Amino acid sequence: MSRLSLAFALVLAAAAAACNPTKLKPGYCNFNSDCASGMCNPDTRMCYTMDASADKPEAGDALDATDVSDGADARDGSDVHEVAPPRCPKDISCADGGYDGSAGVCEGDAGICVECLVDSDCARKPTSPICEAQLCRPCKADSECKTGPGVCMAHQDGRCATDDETIYVKNASGCATAAGSGGTLAAPYCLSQDGINAVTAARALVVMRGPDALTEWAVSTAPAAPITVVGQTSATVNPGARVGVRVSAGKVYVRDLKVSSGSNIGIVAETGADVTLNRCTVATNTKGGILVDGANFDIANTTVTGNGPGDDAGASWGGLRLKNLLTTGKKSLGFLTVMSNNQVGVSCSGSVDATSVLVTGSSGGVDISPSCGFTSCGAAVTATCGAQP
């Protein structure tokens, strides 16, 4: 082997060792136990010592002047304060174990393996796609998901959704009018119901996009998998004379969708279904906003305004009517704004679990029926009362 080849091999070996998570370079550390001094700086990931002579500078200076070991330390590299440990190149991989036993990446400045430096380093962990503080974590918001439909599935496992699991609905020019022939990003379904009907076990996210008005939709039989419906670009269902959204079976999660201006009820959940509404708006539906009849419900960060009056077998209501409450499962309201509805704002056949629910301005003179078991959190939206931005 030539001298040049031997030198190149030695350089590569040293660089790889620098990013070997099982053998840190001298002077670098992950924990205090990695340091002879017992002290690791978490910011620089370098060991440090407290000079025992720090409170006696004169004596220390004299000792330093006669300390012949410093010269030896400089030669053998054992004094980390005098000889900086080598740092690994950023392009050296940490495939030999990496962070916590999985493949990692090299943090060049510290010369150690970490779990990630950028989001793409987390691709091997679908349910932890976001890199923060050199660790992969689940997504928290849609804005963190840069590919596919741009949807964070935080309500499930924290993954960023992919196109393969997504059915698209957009009622605009070029959309697919025949059931079974669309649902892709390039050819979204025109009708909301076609999107719901296309749900399978492997494809259960329905992204409904505005700004053109969307048609009504219903889940009448148990789907192959829990359905997630996410509205984007001001997605609004304008149902006309029909119920805007009706869920009669299965588990359905709806987020960022508006249902408005219908001459019927805005949203109906019934017959044992399990419905979650998050960041939705239900407005100006003439027979009432949200009717829950014998279903599990979890309604949060939602605004219900200008609906009604509705009539349920003689019970007048406007915003929400909650009846035939189930004895198991959720019956929860949290951070709602129920405002300016016609007749009773919230009408219940029994008590429900309510937190930070603002109910005000009901034209019937009753904001919340006593049977609901809660009172309004205030008279105006605050950080702790009503739907949050």
Question: Is residue 367 within 8 Å of 342, Cβ to Cβ?
Answer: no
Predicted pLDDT at 101: 54
Strands 93-94 and 104-107: antiparallel
One-letter amino acid at 89 equals: P
DSSP state of 60: H
pLDDT at residue 26 in the model: 67
- Give 112-118 contacts, CB < 8 A, sequence gap 24+: 112/19, 112/21, 112/24, 112/28, 112/30, 112/45, 113/19, 113/20, 113/21
pLDDT in tens, 123-165: 989 999 999 999 999 999 999 999 999 999 999 999 999 999 9
pLDDT computed for residue 279 by the predictor: 98
Q: Which amino acid is at 5?
A: S
Task: State the pTM of this model.
Answer: 0.78
CA distance linking residue 257 with residue 206, whole number of Å: 12
Q: How far apart are CA 256 and CA 168, in angstroms?
A: 15
Beta strands in 202-309 (DSSP E): 205-209, 217-219, 227-232, 236-237, 245-247, 251-255, 258-260, 267-270, 274-278, 281-283, 290-293, 296-300, 303-305
Closest CA to 325 of 290, 372, 289: 372
Q: What 3-state DSSP class applies to 365?
A: coil
How many CA atoms does the CB half-sphere of 315 hold within 13 Å?
18
Eight-state DSSP code of residue 248: -
pLDDT recorded at residue 289: 98
Give 340's Cβ-side CA count (13 Å radius): 7
Residue 160 and residue 151 in contact, taking contact as beta carbons nearer than 8 Å = yes
Spell out the domain ranges in the chain: 152-372
Give Cβ neighbours of residue 316 (< 8 Å, ≥ 6 apart): 308, 309, 310, 343, 344, 347, 364
Q: pLDDT per position in the chain (389 positions), as tens?
A: 555 455 444 444 444 444 444 456 667 777 888 888 888 887 667 777 764 333 333 444 443 444 444 444 444 444 444 444 444 444 455 755 444 555 678 887 777 788 899 999 999 899 999 999 999 999 999 999 999 999 999 999 999 999 999 999 999 999 999 998 999 999 999 999 999 999 999 999 999 999 999 999 999 999 999 999 999 999 999 999 999 999 999 999 999 999 999 999 999 999 999 999 999 999 999 999 999 999 999 999 999 999 999 999 999 999 999 999 999 999 999 999 999 999 999 999 999 999 999 999 999 899 999 999 999 999 999 999 999 98
Number of residues written out for the chain = 389
Tokens of 165: 């699991």
Q: How far is the CA of 212 from the CAs of 167, 170, 191, 208, 354, in angstroms?
A: 17, 8, 12, 10, 34
Distances (CA, A) of 385 to 334, 339, 355, 360: 9, 13, 8, 12
Amino acid 130 reads: I
- What is the biggest distance separating any 2 CA atoms in the chain, rounded to whole angstroms? 100
156 CB-contact burial (10 Å; exposed 0-12 / middle 13-18 / buried 19+):
middle
- Cα 45 from Cα 32, distance rounded (Å): 10
pLDDT score recorded for residue 381: 97
